[in-house]
Amino acid sequence: MKPSLISLAIATFVSGSLPLATWAAEDVAKAKQQVTQSLHRHQDAPSINYSKVTSQLPRGIRPSHYDIALTPNAQNASFSGKATITLSLLQASDSITLNATDLSFKKVRLIELKTKTQFDDAKVTLDKEAQTASFHFSKPLKKGEYKLELDYDGLIGTQAVGLFSLDYENAEGKQRALYTQFENSDARRVIPSWDEPIFKATFNLEVIVPSKQMAVSNMPVLSKTDLGNGTSLVKFGTSPKMSTYLLFLSVGDFERATVMAEGTEIGVIAKRGSLDQARYVLEESKGILREFNDYFGTRYPLPKLDNIAAPGSSQFFSAMENWGAIFTFESSILLDPSISTHANKELAFVTAAHETAHQWFGNLVTMQWWDDLWLNEGFASWMENRTMMRLHPEWLPEFNAISVREQAIGRDALATTHSVVQKIKTVDQASQAFDTITYQKGEAVIRMLENYVGADAWRDAVRAYMKKHAYSNTQSRDLWVQVEKAARKPIVAIAKDFTEQAGVPLIYVDDVVCKNGKAIVSLRQGEFSKDLPNKKPLHWRVPVVAQIAGTKIIGNTLVVNGKGSLQLPACGTVVVNAGQQGYYRTLYAPKVFAQLAQNFSQVAAIDQVGILSDSWSLGLVGQQDITAYLDLAKVTPVTASTQVWDNIAGNFASVRDILKDDTTRQKAFKQFALQRLTPIMQNLGWDAKAGEAEYISSFRTNLIGVLGSLGEPGVLAEAQRRFHLMDSDPSAAPAALRIIILSIVAENADQKTWDVLHAKAAAEKSSLIRQSLYSLLASSEDKALAQRALDLALTEEPGLTVSAGMIRQVASNHADLAFDFAIANMAKVNERVDATSRSRFFPGLGSTSTDPKMIDKLNAYANAHLDPSARRELETVIAGINYRIKVRQERMPAIRVWLDSQAK
């Protein structure tokens, strides 16, 4: 699953012509043959000791196959279902308990397969809190094989959980499409099932749908039979053995395009009229699949791999890796020619790569329980960036590693953090496990460990892991055993340090001594903490890499028991964590840092960004003078890399926020920041130059945004000029600039301009663009206009899945306003937020606050509405507020002194 990425930008169009897929007779025959071949591949999986695996269900029953028949009624928001489940009863019992939520049962029948004995007298007990249904029989059930037949009814929701509908408009008027979202624990809303990762089974799915609509599932369509009443019965091929959360169904007025690659039919599916916007991902998917088939050493086992694009959004996720049928919201995968950026092109690529990587890490091999969710998500995140490095090195994806590390450390350095491998007990806890630690820290740790053991050994270990555990479930140790075997060096202990204990190592570079032509680097390990400065450091075994700046001279060591040293065969300026692969902060002793700052131009760009990131974060917590960062930013040459200037521009915006309560110093800092950034903008220009690298487009957009937030008059005026011309002169707002222009205008809008933007949003027919325009309406700095956006969010106009994003957008500028509004209108807001996201959504609205009173509000909300097991996000938000208050109190004096010294 890809976590939700709320982005106002929309993507790039890639031309090309691909045929629409049709379910011709030869396609059906080929699908049947491929399905049969697929099913023969997965019968022999490693045995698992089920008694040692976490479960919320009674032990003693194991399902092996589901026959599912669904009849959705989209207009009535309901469905009827039939499930026939083949299962093994491992011990005698008089009842069967499985997961079921919001289902009502009309018929229950149990058949013993050996004797054909039928049990039709089941008493049904529903436990809403436990999300289970229990079937109690009057006679005891013996060990053996059974079929459980269930007829039931369920609900179709409007948010992305279970079976849900998404409404949109096209040239023919209002349309409604159906989709499913089952991860982490919502298959039980559609299928009575053993809805836990360990209970893998095969699935046969059939569905009755309107004849003119397309039905999509994990496997190809085997048959489509006209029922004569405007509906058809669609049957899909038998799935591989898989966990319930990977099953998928979608029904709607769709189009499909396909290509063949690596013996697999790759498809993209989108609502009618928007298929061309998916062709970029279709083409890129060929190279992605080729890379993964080679890397994993196990070929993709299903006959087809679809990417399904859906209108709307979720506050929880942007894409889901259903096996053979990846679901993605349009904003993360479609590229519109009228309002596109390079950033969205990269987003579409990494989303496809992430979800395709899950077809192995997650689908083929699945974690035993949500404790090891990172085996799915951390690895898919790591693979997405690795694949970009392989297929698009021109985008400089190596710099993404620093961004990933910074996101992870930002969360991991708070006292409310948790380990990568975490203890999960409840459904709410499982939902909250999809977070920065699982994704970004998981990815960063994998990157460091791969660098430590070597890329070839790591790949060999992954291949062995896939081969051994295909169609089965694992824990983290299963992977570490394979890595240690392939690398022939200790790795288990290092991996355990970084995945089974929380927190961030801090590597002190105490001294660098040049002796006999060699640099001897003295190292010490502590812990980087944002809110526990006197915390006793934990111990990690830390792989450390160092380099002499401007050379290829590299050395490495493992810091163990808190101390270490490293020797380089030459003297010079030493860079620790060279290449930025390590998951730790680096703090240089003052004289070592002074040499580094003096020779900063000799340092590779990626290490310049890493050093700046460390310096900024260490300055915020007071472990280094924060003005050291400002001194570096002051002397950075205009010719420095765009990535360096991107870092500086972003942190300048943060300094402006720190000085919010000191208008005199804030004005002085804005003047300093503009003196540094305006020449960069002048050199860059608003319009792309012929032959410039694609990534320059993203930097230009970011820089314009920061200059706009700093109130740079030229940028504000140019944005307004282009805004007024964009409808009559398309060249005034080319696709790459359209959203940033609208963003600056919306942020600074008066009532008249807001009304113009509102009219544009209401008239827009493209669901992709429409969603972005409504989000922009919520970005105004004017409190009255922000209130109008909140009021609008609770109407039917924006769309039920867009409204929550508008409320969250308002919160970015007006935390108290948005939070108070959401609490006052909780019933209506809950209708617009995924059920699995509510324990995170409401606390998240207060996450930008620096007011201690917000903490009281959050605690009041938690006491009234949150179970104690679902408070992790709330506690993290409160820790973040306290940290920002602390930064303002403790860092502002040094920044004031520094600013005053610049004026002299």
Active site residues: 355
Contact indicator for 644, 662 with CB cutoff of 8 Å: no
DSSP string, 769-823: HHHHHHHHHTT-SSHHHHHHHHHHHTSSSS-TTTHHHHHHHHHHH-HHHHHHHHH
DSSP SS3 for 687 = coil
Q: Torsion angle of alpha carbons 799, 803, 806, 807, nearest 10°? A: 170
What share of residues in the chain are helix, strand, coil (percent, to 5)?
A: 45, 25, 30
- Neighbouring residues of 570: CB distance < 8 A, sequence distance ≥ 6: 517, 518, 519, 548, 551, 553
Pairing of strands 78-89, 104-112: unpaired
Cα 209 to Cα 857: distance, rounded to the nearest angstrom: 47
Residue type, 390: R
Contact indicator for 483, 501 with CB cutoff of 8 Å: no
Tokens matching residue 121: 């007298």
DSSP SS3 for 546 = strand
By CB atoms closer than 10 A (0-12, 13-18, 19+), residue 80 is middle
To 5 degrees, how large is the angle CA 600–CA 656–CA 695? 55
| Sign of torsion over alpha carbons 676, 682, 687, 692 | negative
Contact indicator for 577, 610 with CB cutoff of 8 Å: yes
By CB atoms closer than 10 A (0-12, 13-18, 19+), residue 54 is middle
Residue in the block written with tokens 């097991």: 869
Cα 806 to Cα 791: distance, rounded to the nearest angstrom: 10
Tokens matching residue 158: 């409007």
Cα 715 to Cα 1: distance, rounded to the nearest angstrom: 38
DSSP string, 300-347: --SSEEEEEEESS--SSEEEE--TTEEEEEGGGT---TTS--HHHHHH
Cα 339 to Cα 391: distance, rounded to the nearest angstrom: 25
Nearest CA to 22 out of 210, 256, 251 is that of 256
Q: At what angle do helices 803-813 and 783-793 cross, to 10 degrees?
A: 160
Q: At what angle do helices 442-453 and 400-412 cross, to 10 degrees?
A: 120
Contact indicator for 556, 579 with CB cutoff of 8 Å: no
Phi then psi dihedrals of residue 750, to 5 deg: -95, 180
Nearest CA to 256 out of 49, 440, 19 is that of 19
Neighbour tally for 546: CB within 10 Å: 24
Pairing of strands 221-226, 585-588: unpaired
Cα 320 to Cα 307: distance, rounded to the nearest angstrom: 10
Pairing of strands 61-73, 78-89: antiparallel
Alpha-carbon distance values, 702 to 206, 254, 408, 686, 848 (Å): 48, 35, 21, 12, 20
Helix (H) or strand (E) holding 566: strand 563-568
- E-assigned strand segments in 100-253: 104-112, 118-119, 123-127, 132-141, 144-155, 162-170, 173-181, 202-210, 214-217, 221-226, 231-236, 249-252
